[in-house]
């Protein structure tokens, strides 16, 4: 390796270390996927000097995983003094993952974070960061080995190796998990190490030293994560290729037996322990019981549905997946990867032998196959991080594809461009996605305070004062969003976390929509408030597409304890009413126009209610406008319910449409059927708000699902308007 090559690799690793450390310190404790359960494993070993055991009754830890990474974490962090319980549960955010799929910062935090997590770190915070930085170093090893493997394959063009390393080092998901407590980055390290020895094997031929090295690495891999057993496939491919070249079956058998013997000697005790504790060597039977596993049969629909999420979470879905990047980013990465891989189909030069291609492809396919199987048996199987052991092979294939798309004199330059571009992506993920996702609201400046409109003097207890507000827009339609900005002045920090409510009420007093959250969109709970600070909080209240219109809505806001009472103002009331807004009817042929797809067979085009306030014994007339999407053979029944808490039904009208006179099998596609249901409010119905819900079902089978435009199932009942029952 030349001085220039060493400089390039050193610079890349230095940038990786800085970025990964920045991701680590910008990510609050335990916000990464399962980080708290991974750290419990580490803490258990450090505190009790023994391995944890999976249990249905005990608090969860990732104790089904092999212990190598966790033992290293305990060794590195066990010296930190701490009085915290091993299975400590942080204070949760009940409003976590609001609009899970949205890019932004709205309640992306699973836990409430206090000043105890601030620098200088101490106690368990320090221990967590020590293990995080250990993971960063392991990630650096994966980057270095990926570079080394690519350099072996193309010693002439260092840009190929540089691009390969950059594609893994600056992948935002890899950076993010490198700065977290998890065993997927160590798994990537083992995947890179085993890929390196396999490439060495086919390039230089087998040797006793390589056999021993491979056996040690495979044994360590099996003590890192069980699914790394799949990497025995490329090992076998490498041995078969060299055996064919040397025409030595005996050498193949000897090498394979050596590798398996050493790997078993290193890791076999763990699988024997699982057999003793759980009745199977992998412990997966117990895992499936703990994590709602299922049989692999008949779940291919989930694989098809999960592949887009698998791809996006490989390249950047932070937290538990609730912090996505903008959709064009995933599309750009997909196009880039497809174009690069298409380079392998182009005619032209290549310095890589077909044997090496077989190693790279078999490594990637083996890991992908394991992940696809896991998707079949586990609802949470579509996680891109599970592909990390195959990521070194993937990025090398991408970089080698680029080699064939450019003239030879541009190969190194293209590698540098890819590296710079990926570094920009990694920086962008940190600055534009991760940091804003958990940022507390900033204090307003004097000029901003002076420009507040709609001034208010309402003070909620001795906790906070509402000094002003803004509502936008003043007129909406069903399906639109109202933005309500509240300007809070902090009076004091509280011992319990108060939540903000923003209610949108109809002119008859029924709830149209509501938004509840801790202040700061979950990031500035009242238990961490700084007295004297004034800040702005903007809440997006989403009006359902099924909301009744036209209507005049009022907005009410306040503070409350989720398990207790509301705070009152100086006037003794528990709400402050803001400006009202108009809900206009959407244009359409029918009242309250809709386009709801029931099972790709029937559409609901609209509805009408003759009243939204009733007493027990009153009858509400609900008119539904149906249309068949296709010719129907089944006679579906319609259900219409007055539904209360936990879907308790307080009034219903079920049966064939139009009092049985228009069975669905008689509907002509495109013809509208007007169906009126009579909902009599039960005589014992308490005064309260209730939802009108409708749907379709086959009495001999099940309800028709509501299908979203993108094809996923939403629900099997549709909530329409809310009514108020009064005594």
pLDDT one-digit tens code per residue, 670-679: 999 999 999 9
Rounded-to-integer distance, Cα 191 and Cα 222, Å: 11
Confidence of residue 300 (pLDDT cuts 50, 70, 90): confident
Rounded to an integer, what distance in angstroms lies between the CA atom of residue 611 and that of residue 602?
26
pLDDT for 320 beyond 60? yes
Q: 412 and 471 in one domain?
A: no
115 assigned to some structural domain: no
Is residue 659 included in any domain, yes or no?
yes
Q: How confident is the model at residue 347 (pLDDT cuts 50, 70, 90)?
A: low
Q: Kindly state whether residues 357 and 291 are assigned to the same domain.
A: yes
Across the range 643-648, mean pLDDT stands at 89
* Helix 300-315, helix 354-377: angle, nearest 10: 120
Which DSSP string corresponds to 354-400? HHHHHHHHHHHHHHHHHHHHHHHH-TT---GGGGGGGHHHHHHHHHH
Sequence-ordered list of residues with C-beta below 8 angstroms from that of 430, at least 6 positions apart, any chain: 19, 22, 23, 26, 172, 175
Instruction: Enter the pTM of the model.
Output: 0.90
CB burial of 257-269 (b: ≥16 within 10 Å; e: otherwise) equals: ebbeebbbebbee
The answer, yes or no, to whether residue 350 has pLDDT greater than 70, is no
Q: How many separate helices (H) and strands (E) can be counted in the chain?
A: 18, 23
What residues contact residue 444 under an 8 Å CB cut-off, 6+ apart? 487, 534, 535, 536
pLDDT at site 693: 97
Above 60 in pLDDT, residue 481? Answer: yes
Predicted local confidence at residue 29, as pLDDT: 97
The answer on 306 and 399 residing in a single domain is yes
- Among 19, 394, 49, 367, smallest CA distance to 177 is for 19
Pairing type for strands 637-643 and 323-324 reads unpaired
The answer to whether 504 and 512 have CB atoms below 8 angstroms apart is yes
**DSSP category for residue 570:** T
Answer yes or no: do 482 and 503 share one domain: yes
Q: Are residues 553 and 661 in the same domain?
A: no
Q: Kindly report, residue by residue over 652-663, the tens digit of the pLDDT.
A: 999 999 999 999
CA dist 611 and 618 (Å) reads: 10
**Sign of the dihedral defined by the CA atoms of residues 591, 594, 597, 603, in that order:** positive
48-57, 526-535, 536-545, 592-601, range with the lowest pLDDT: 48-57
Rounded-to-integer distance, Cα 719 and Cα 62, Å: 39
* Ramachandran region, residue 76 (left: φ > 0; alpha: ψ -120 to 50; beta: rest): alpha
Q: Residue 72 sits in which domain range?
A: 3-89+121-435
From CA 630, how far away is CA 15, in angstroms rounded?
58
pLDDT tens digit sequence for 89-138:
999 999 998 888 888 899 999 999 998 899 999 999 999 999 999 999 99
Whether 401 and 526 map to the same domain: the answer is no
Do 370 and 495 sit in the same domain of this protein? no
Whether residues 532 and 603 share a domain: the answer is no
14 found inside a domain: yes
pLDDT for 509-546, tens place per residue? 999 999 999 999 999 999 999 999 999 999 999 999 99
Q: So what's the pLDDT on residue 351? A: 65
**Which of 408, 435, 462 is the last residue before a domain boundary?**
435
Q: Report pLDDT for 101.
A: 84
| Percentage of residues in the chain having pLDDT higher than 70 | 97
Domain assignment of residue 686, yes or no: yes
Q: What is the pLDDT of residue 349?
A: 57
Residue 116 located in a structural domain: no
Q: What is the pLDDT of residue 287?
A: 72
Same domain? For 636 and 542 the reply is no
419-467 pLDDT, tens per residue? 999 999 999 999 999 999 999 999 999 999 999 989 999 999 999 999 9
Tokens of 651: 């009034």
What are the tens digits of pLDDT across the range 138-149?
A: 999 999 999 999
pLDDT at 293 over 70: no
Say what the pLDDT of residue 13 is.
97
Contact yes or no for 577/458 (Cβ under 8 A):
no
Determine the Cα–Cα distance for residues 31 and 432; give it in Å rounded to an integer.
17
Mean pLDDT within 335-339: 93
Q: Are residues 143 and 239 in the same domain?
A: yes
Distance CA 475, CA 482 (A): 9
Q: Are residues 206 and 342 in the same domain?
A: yes
- State residue 292's pLDDT score: 64
pLDDT at 294 over 70: no
* Any domain includes 102: no
Mean pLDDT of the chain: 92
Is 112 within the bounds of a domain?
no
CATH of the domain at 520: 2.60.40.2550
Report pLDDT for 345: 79
User: What integer pLDDT is reported at residue 381 of this predicted model?
Assistant: 75
**Which of 409, 435, 461 is the last residue in one of the domains?**
435
> What is the number of domains present in the chain?
3
Domain membership flag for residue 110: no
Residues 483 and 625 grouped into a single domain: no
- Which residues make Cβ contacts (< 8 Å) with residue 9, sequence separation at least 6? 1, 144, 147, 161, 162, 165
Contacts of 526 (CB under 8 A, 6+ apart): 463, 464, 493, 494, 496, 497, 498, 518, 519
Among the three residues 538, 559, 583, which one is the final residue of a domain in this structure?
583
Structure tokens at 97: 């993952």
Of the two residues 82 and 93, the one the predictor is more confident about is 93
Confidence at 41, pLDDT banded by 50, 70, 90 = very high
């Amino acid at each position: 390796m030349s001085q220039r090559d060493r400089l390039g690799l050193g610079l890349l690793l230095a940038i990786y270390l800085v970025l990964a450390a920045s991701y680590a310190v910008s990510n609050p404790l335990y916000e990464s996927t399962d980080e708290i359960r991974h750290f419990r494993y580490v803490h258990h070993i450090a505190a009790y000097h023994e391995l944890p055991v999976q249990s249905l009754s005990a608090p969860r830890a990732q104790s089904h995983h092999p212990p190598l990474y966790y033992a290293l974490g305990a060794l590195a962090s066990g010296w930190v003094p701490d009085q915290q319980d091993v299975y400590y549960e942080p204070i949760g955010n009940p409003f976590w993952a609001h609009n899970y799929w949205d890019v932004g910062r709205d309640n992306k935090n699973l836990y409430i974070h206090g000043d105890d997590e601030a620098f200088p770190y101490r106690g368990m915070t320090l221990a967590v960061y020590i293990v995080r930085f250990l993971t960063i170093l392991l990630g650096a090893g994966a980057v270095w080995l990926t570079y080394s493997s690519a350099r072996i394959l193309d010693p002439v063009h260092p840009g190929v190796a540089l691009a390969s390393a950059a594609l893994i080092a600056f992948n935002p998901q890899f950076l993010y998990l490198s700065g977290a407590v998890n065993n997927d980055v160590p798994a990537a390290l083992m995947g890179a190490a085993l890929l390196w020895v396999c490439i060495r094997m086919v390039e230089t031929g087998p040797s006793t030293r390589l056999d021993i090295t491979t056996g040690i690495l495979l044994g360590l891999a099996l003590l890192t994560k069980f699914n790394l057993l799949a990497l025995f496939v490329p090992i076998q491919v490498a041995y078969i290729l060299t055996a064919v070249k040397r025409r030595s079956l005996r050498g193949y058998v000897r090498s394979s037996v050596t590798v398996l013997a050493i790997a078993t000697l290193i890791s076999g005790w763990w699988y024997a322990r699982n057999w003793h504790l759980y009745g199977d060597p992998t412990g997966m039977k117990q895992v499936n019981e703990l994590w709602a596993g299922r049989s692999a049969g008949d779940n291919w629909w989930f694989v098809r549905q999960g592949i887009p999420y698998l791809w996006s979470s490989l390249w950047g879905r932070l937290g538990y997946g609730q912090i996505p990047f903008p959709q064009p980013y995933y599309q750009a990465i997909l196009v880039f990867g497809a174009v690069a891989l298409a380079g392998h189909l182009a005619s032209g030069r290549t310095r890589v032998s077909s044997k090496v291609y077989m190693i790279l492809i078999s490594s990637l396919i083996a890991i992908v196959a394991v992940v696809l199987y896991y998707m079949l048996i586990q609802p949470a199987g579509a996680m891109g991080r599970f592909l990390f052991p195959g990521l070194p092979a993937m990025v090398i294939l991408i970089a080698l594809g680029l080699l064939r798309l450019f003239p030879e004199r541009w190969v190194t330059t293209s590698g540098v461009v890819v590296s710079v571009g990926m570094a920009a992506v990694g920086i962008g993920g940190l600055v534009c996605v991760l940091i804003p996702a958990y940022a507390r609201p900033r204090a307003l400046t004097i000029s901003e305070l002076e420009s507040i409109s709609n001034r208010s003097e309402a003070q909620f207890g001795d906790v906070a004062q509402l000094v002003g507000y803004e509502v936008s827009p003043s007129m909406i339609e069903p399906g639109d969003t109202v933005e309500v900005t509240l300007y809070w002045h902090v009076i004091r920090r509280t011992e319990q976390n108060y939540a903000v409510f923003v209610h949108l009420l109809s002119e008859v007093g029924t709830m149209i929509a509501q938004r509840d959250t801790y202040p700061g969109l979950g990031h500035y709970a009242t238990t961490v408030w700084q007295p004297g600070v004034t800040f702005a909080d903007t809440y997006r209240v989403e009006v359902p597409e099924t909301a009744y219109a036209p209507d005049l809505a009022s907005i009410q806001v306040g503070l409350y304890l989720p398990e207790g009472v509301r705070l009152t103002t100086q006037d003794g009331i528990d709400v402050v009413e803001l400006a009202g807004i108009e809900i206009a009817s959407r244009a359409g042929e029918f009242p309250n126009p809709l386009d709801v797809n029931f099972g790709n067979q029937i559409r609901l085009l609209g509805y009408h209610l003759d009243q939204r306030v009733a007493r027990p014994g009153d009858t509400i007339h609900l008119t539904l406008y149906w249309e068949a999407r296709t010719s129907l053979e089944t006679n579906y029944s319609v259900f219409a319910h007055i539904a209360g808490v936990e879907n308790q039904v307080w009034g219903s009208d079920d049966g064939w449409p139009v009092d049985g006179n228009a069975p669905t099998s008689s509907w002509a596609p495109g013809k509208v059927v007007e169906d009126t249901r009579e909902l009599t409010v039960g005589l014992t119905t308490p005064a309260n708000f209730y939802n009108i819900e409708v749907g379709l079902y086959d009495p001999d089978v099940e309800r028709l699902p509501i299908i979203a435009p993108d094809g996923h199932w939403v629900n099997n009942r549709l909530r329409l308007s809310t009514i108020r029952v009064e005594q």
